[in-house]
Structure 1
Amino acid sequence: MRHSLHISDLATCHFLFPNIIDKLIAVVGASCKYVPFYRRDYKYLDEYNAFYKLHQVANNWLEAFNVCYTEGAHLFYPSSKEEASVFSTLVSANGKNVTSVVLGFRNDFHLGEFITIHGGPVPFPIFAEGHEHSYESENSCIILNTRMKYSESSCDQKHPFICKRVMDIPVCPTTDKNYEYQESAKRCYKVHIHKQTWWEALATCYQEGAFLLTLDNSIETINIQSLLTNYQEYYVGIRGTAPGADLYTIKGSRLMLDGIQWLTSPGIKSNACVTMMRKFDEDNNGWIGLSYNARNCDTPLPFVCEMKARS
């Protein structure tokens, strides 16, 4: 007989097997993680953090430059010796008849010295020592073949080419634009104003590739206050495991009660989950800080999800 795993079971098991459950959570949330995408005809290569497209229809250098520009990309040139292998990767994928491509280098100063389309020098030596330039006019361009060898050619000659689009990776690793990055905490937060039970809130954060907020340090405690509404309770990832027992975070850490400001007595009853509330000093026009409360986990309330930002 097959049994389904309820999200409450997942959180409860986390207290006993945090490492194993963390892996399960990662799988559950993976569908919401950021998936790089630019255009369907561009291929993303994670090692270079960029998108590439092999154009098999030959064009001269200027035509190739303009094609890439209209696609929001630039004419490819390898920024390192290793990146030159991108050409072979694209040929293996969908361009087996292509043997060479024109690159984003030009001899604009007629001196045999090439520069990139971005105005910089060639980032690494591409010719052997003693190489004699074949074209020492402004019409000299560089070709790369599938054997990773470079040669010169007239820019008027037509060759296949590659367009490159550099990836702008968001700090928060998710497609959800409602996550707000906090620099000092290196975390991303999302406030859910739609009320849910604690278990539903826990599940929602997991599905978004995040965790129900646990406030691991004083920096987080300070930063999160700017996102909250005064005197509104929000669920956090802390609950009691049994009546009269200690409070634990969903990451398996026991909550130290010393120094915590409680709205009511922290006596833990059955099915108790913790909320936080930002208090505001009307007279001094400033925040007092966060206060906590123990609520029935089945009471629908707003909540906050958090995820670690990209390093």
Structure 2
Amino acid sequence: MSQFLLLCAVLSVANLLVLQPGYEYVQDADAWLRLHKVPANWGNARLRCQLEGGILASPSNSAIVQAMLTQMTRHKVASPTVFTGIHSLNTELDFTSLDGKPLSEIELDWAPNEPNDDNEEEQKCVVLNEKGQVADVNCASKYPYFCKKDSAAMNATNDCPTTVRGYKYQPLTGSCYKFHRFSQPWNRAARICHAEGGHLAIVNDAIEATVLKHIFEKNPVEDVVGAIHSDVALIGIWKWEDDGDWMTIFGETLEKAGYAKWSDGVELHADHGAIQRSGLLDAVAKFDKDPFICEIEMTEENSV
């Protein structure tokens, strides 16, 4: 931790810092921003930021606006317009940011003839353009967007390259893991892991299987919420085709990845992977909700 604090102190001379992958520190606003260049509708943008442990960013002050415009230019965003966290979805007229700040408390420049909701198409979400001006748009439209985290959240870290709570480093494998007790279907679990900066865990050898087994032991059945199966956790393997081989999410066969020990009696007609409390592999249906394990692999780039 002392090395981490020293690193932050040395780097803080810059206006923009990079600590967690994708997030840059905006010194004048004391906030961290991450630009998502792939367009999404407002609801999915909000959800993605939430899964990352942040919030869909709003241009709440001039420093944030300038940082957004600078990153849009530097990262060459195809669309010169980005979604903000300002919306009127919960009210008929008043716009509010996702962190609860009413529009009257935010200094914004509206683009000419904006807002212009003419009741033919509801425009309850707000975008920021390359001139630093805002406009109301339909929330189903798709734009790039920024996620934001405050400094308190970014400083609440450990040996793992993420600010999302719950990850713990395992020296036997060189990865960080998090056990999610709130059950999800496999696709949603994979999305959550990705949003947190990792992926559904992949077992590469017997040692890693033992590590996951011990993680599982710390999460008894009574602490798991909404599971279809009481003794499995979703991991990053699946069957790409009905009659195909089992593969990792990175396209390797289980044999090449290093671990293919299945439990006896597994229903292999199911096409999404899990691990049992015993450390052996299991299979579940695509829409079965179960707990899951995310993994963040440590590299030279993301080591703190």
What TM-score do the two structures reach when normalised by structure 2? 0.42
Q: Give 1 or 2 for the bigger CA radius of gyration.
A: 1
